[in-house]
Structure formats: structure tokens, C-alpha cells
Amino acid sequence: MILLTGASGYVGGRLLTRLLDAGHSVRCLVRGARSVAGFGSSNCEVVQGDILELASLRPAMEGVDQAYYLVHSMAVGEGFEEQDRQCAANFARAAADAGVRRIIYLGGLSHDEAGLSSHFRSRNEVGQILRSTGVPVVEFRASVVIGSGSLSFELMRSLVERLPAMVAPRWVQMPAQPIAIDDVLAYLVEAASLGGADSKTFEIGGSDVLSYREMMLEYAKLRGLKRWIVPVPVLTPWLSSLWLGLVTPVYARVGRKLIESVRHPSVVRSKGALQEFAVRPMGFVEALVLAMRNEDREFAETRWEDSFGSSTKSSSSGVRRFGNRLVDSRSVLIRCSPSAAFRPIREIGGRRGWYSADWLWDLRAAIDLLLGGVGKRRGRRHPSELRVGDFLDWWRVEGFEEDRLLLLSAEMKLPGRAWLQFEVVPVEERSIIRQTALFDPLGGAGLAYWYLVYPLHKLVFRGMLKGIQSRALGPSG
């Protein structure tokens, strides 16, 4: 039996799937009743407990052979170091009392030197506390983790996407050894089969050593963005962390702690991990490409009726974010079958038009032609049949499920990537039609474009949904 903390978190959720795939029995410790990625598997058990309360840990530790410690209190803000100490002490005590054979811990890659940031100092101290009760600990000290949804990736992306030029402090020249989340997970899974009964510390990083400036420029290159980063000697990491809140407010509180940590190199000095494990970490560019590909896959698999909830009347969500993407979704509940609700969606475009403000669609098509795009010249292959790969004016059918889903990707000239998705969900004798516009902006130009045309989007898309509703219901509706 393996005990996993943080199963609903970024690393823990992914690790749970890997452990179950490897045939392990896993017990997930969560603070509240919630679902986790592997719940429902015969090898996955979910128990409630709070690491801040020692008594609640004891039942969770019963019969456990190894325990993963993936807990970090940095998001609580000031005073997170003391909370980290208390959590680690309780966990180590409960593990020792239960006879747990090994604790596996993921920390940050730093070296024990003077002047460490509070983030690195706390990460190292947690490792020491976990070892304090005599339970062997396998501690991984990871450099910058690159993966879709990781804090490091999101911070880097936000800075590069939103700032064409950066006057940056000296920390952008600090070397790091970024590691793909897949490689981190591979190390964590292999640790469960590691031989020996002694505590060990492993430094893990990818195959490339780059400065933070080089990482940001590589990301910009992959996105087709021109970016200028000029290091200056006067901005400290602490000062630069303050303006981080203006550029990336969602991540500012935790991001500031990370920025304060980059005055130290995050480079692997010991080759112990390469000697003990079969993992051969990928390079930075490969990790970036994989992160973007995984995000595209997660994005394509998202069902927006689940993300936004169902409504009994037409509603507009306003603009929300999915990673870097902007999402505008609205829905309507109508009294008809899914087949009737989907029929006007299946027939959209071409000679049929877009059910609302066709003159605006024609104007946008004319502008697209002037810019060298396809405009509306392609029409559609068949007036009522669709299949994946079909043209539909300046769109291409990327996803299609009869009476269920139509996903269109834009092939017009845009400062980014755009999709238009329609979903039909049966609800007793009625159907919900959800229409979602999605945009992946390319830099500041992409953001400016989205917000400039957003008032027109509201007008056109609201009218389109009403037109689809009217045609689905027919004259009797």
C-alpha cells in the first residue's frame, strides 16, 4: 500500500495515474471529500485527513509501506514556513509510529549555502524534518518543472506572451536545469522500487542548462514571437517580484516567492540520479513542445457544459481563461430532442449562413481576403452533412459527433488560434445547446484583437444562438 498526499494537486494527480498504471495500490489522503483522478479504481482508496492534525494521520498510515509527501504551504502566504514545519513533523511522526518503510519527497533544487530564499530554505528544511524520526527518505530536488499547468510554465508563458520587451534584473542570467513533468513523474514512480534502506537525496534536472532569459526566448521562438530581454543590474529579485502581480495577477502570490528564489543557480551537481535510475531526462525544447501538445489535448477533451455548468435559460459567461486561452461560452435550454437541436448546427455556414448578422460575417470574410486569407470562398462540401476535415467557409471541422458536438478551428488570418464549438446535451425531454468561442492569443496583439472584437462577438454569437434555437424549434416554437 502506498499513501499519496497531494493527489488533487498538479504533481500528485498525475503521479496517481502513473502509480495505478504500474500496478500499485494507492491510498489518497485528502482534507475534504472530493474526487481524485484515480477514484473508482479497485486499487485506489480515498481517506480524509489533515496533515496539520497528527491524530487524523494515524488511520491513514495503517498498513502503508511507502508514503509520498507532496505537500507545500507556500500558497498560504506569509508564515508558510512554520506551517510547512508542522506538516512535515506530523507526517514524519505518524509514518514512524505506523512502521512506514520509506517516505518519498519532492523538493526544490538548491544547494545548502548562505542566503537561501524562504522558498528553498523551507523545502530543504522539510526534507530534514521528514528524516528526523528515523524513517528513510528519498528526497528529489527538482529544478524548474516544465509541463502544461505547472506554475513555472505558466509564469514564463504569461511574461513572454504579455511583454514584448522586458527590462529584467540580473536573475534572468542565472542558470537552471529545467525538467519535464513527465521525467519528474518517472523518477517518482521508480523511487517506489528503489533498493536499500538508507535516506538518499537526488538532484534532478533535464538534459539542458539554460538561463531564465534563454528559456523565455526559446518559448517565444516556439510561439513565433519577437521578444527583447535586457538585463540591468539595479532590479533585485524582490523588486521584480512586485511588478509580477501586474503582469500575472493570478500567480502573483506564489510566483513572488519563486522569483525571490532565482538568485541561486538551480543546476544538478551530483550525477546520483542518473546512476540510480533508468530515467534519461529530455531537453528543454522537447519539454516545452510536450507541454503545449498536452495542453492542446486537455483543451480538446474539455466539455464546456461541465466547465460552465448548465442553465435553464440563455446566459453569457463573460470571458474566462483556460490556461492561456480565452473562453466565451453561452447556453440555452430548449424543449426538443438532441437531434432537432443539432440539425441547424450541422447545417451552419455556406449558403445557409450563420443565423445572425451575416453582413458582419461577410465583412470579416472580405477583410480576410484582403489580408491574404481564404475568406468565405470555400463554402461547404454538402448542405447538411459534415465530417472531420471538411471546410466550412473559413473554418475546418476539427471534431464532430452526430447530434452531440461540432468543433470548428479557424483558418482565417488571426493573431492567434481560434475555435468555435457547439455542444448539445439531452436533459429529460429537453436539450441544452452550448456555444463556446475560444481564442489562443499570440502575444499582446492577440489580446488586443480579442478585446477589440469582443463586443461584436457578444452581438453575433448571442444572435447566432437565438437563430439556432428558433430553427431547431421550427414554426411551432
**Are 313 and 391 within one domain?**
yes
Look at the alpha carbons of 266, 267, 272, 276 in this order and tell me if their dihedral is positive or negative. Answer: positive
Spatial separation of the C-alpha atoms in residues 135 and 54, rounded to whole Å: 16
**Are 360 and 449 within one domain?**
yes
User: In angstroms, what CA-CA distances link 196 with 99, 101, 133, 191, 204?
Assistant: 16, 11, 18, 11, 19
**Are 222 and 319 within one domain?**
no
Q: Kindly report the average pLDDT of the chain as a whole number.
A: 84
Nearest to residue 17, comparing CAs of 46, 48, 41?
A: 41
Spatial separation of the C-alpha atoms in residues 328 and 321, rounded to whole Å: 9
Neighbour tally for 342: CB within 10 Å: 24
- Write down the pLDDT at residue 255: 54
Give burial (CB, 10 Å; 0-12/13-18/19+) of 256: buried
Q: How many domains does the chain have?
A: 2
**Are 335 and 238 within one domain?**
no
**Are 17 and 101 within one domain?**
yes
Contact 314, 330 (CB under 8 A): yes
CA angle 93, 94, 100 (to 5 degrees): 105
Residue that terminates a domain, selected from 268, 297, 326: 297
Contact 206, 183 (CB under 8 A): yes
Cell of 366: 472580405
- Write down the pLDDT at residue 400: 92
Is 70 exceeded by the pLDDT of residue 192?
Answer: yes
Spatial separation of the C-alpha atoms in residues 346 and 310, rounded to whole Å: 22
Q: Which domain holds residue 465?
A: 303-473
**Are 202 and 339 within one domain?**
no
102-126 confidence digits (pLDDT tens): 999 999 888 766 666 677 788 889 9
Spatial separation of the C-alpha atoms in residues 379 and 353, rounded to whole Å: 10
Contact 335, 430 (CB under 8 A): yes
Spatial separation of the C-alpha atoms in residues 359 and 355, rounded to whole Å: 11
**Are 344 and 272 within one domain?**
no
- Write down the pLDDT at residue 246: 57
The domain that contains 23 carries what CATH number?
Answer: 3.40.50.720
CA angle 51, 55, 33 (to 5 degrees): 55
Task: Give mean pLDDT, residues 200-222.
Answer: 94
- Write down the pLDDT at residue 240: 58
CB burial of 172-181 (b: ≥16 within 10 Å; e: otherwise) equals bebebbbbbb
The domain that contains 364 carries what CATH number?
Answer: 3.30.530.20
Nearest to residue 353, comparing CAs of 383, 332, 387, 316?
A: 383
**Are 16 and 74 within one domain?**
yes
For 72, what's the count of Cα atoms within 13 Å in the CB-facing half-sphere?
Answer: 22
Torsion of CA 108, 113, 114, 116, to 10 degrees: -10
**Are 388 and 282 within one domain?**
no
How much of the chain exceeds pLDDT 90, in percent? Answer: 43
Q: Mention every residue, 6+ apart, whose C-beta is less than 8 A from residue 447.
A: 161, 162, 441
Nearest to residue 4, comparing CAs of 13, 147, 85, 145?
A: 13
Contact 176, 210 (CB under 8 A): yes
Residue that terminates a domain, selected from 277, 297, 317: 297
Task: Give mean pLDDT, residues 171-193.
Answer: 93
In the structure, what pLDDT confidence band is assigned to residue 445 with cuts at 50, 70 and 90?
A: confident
Task: Give mean pLDDT, residues 117-136.
Answer: 88
Spatial separation of the C-alpha atoms in residues 469 and 434, rounded to whole Å: 11
Cα 88 to chain centroid, rounded: 27
Q: What's the pTM value of the predicted model, to 2 decimals?
A: 0.75
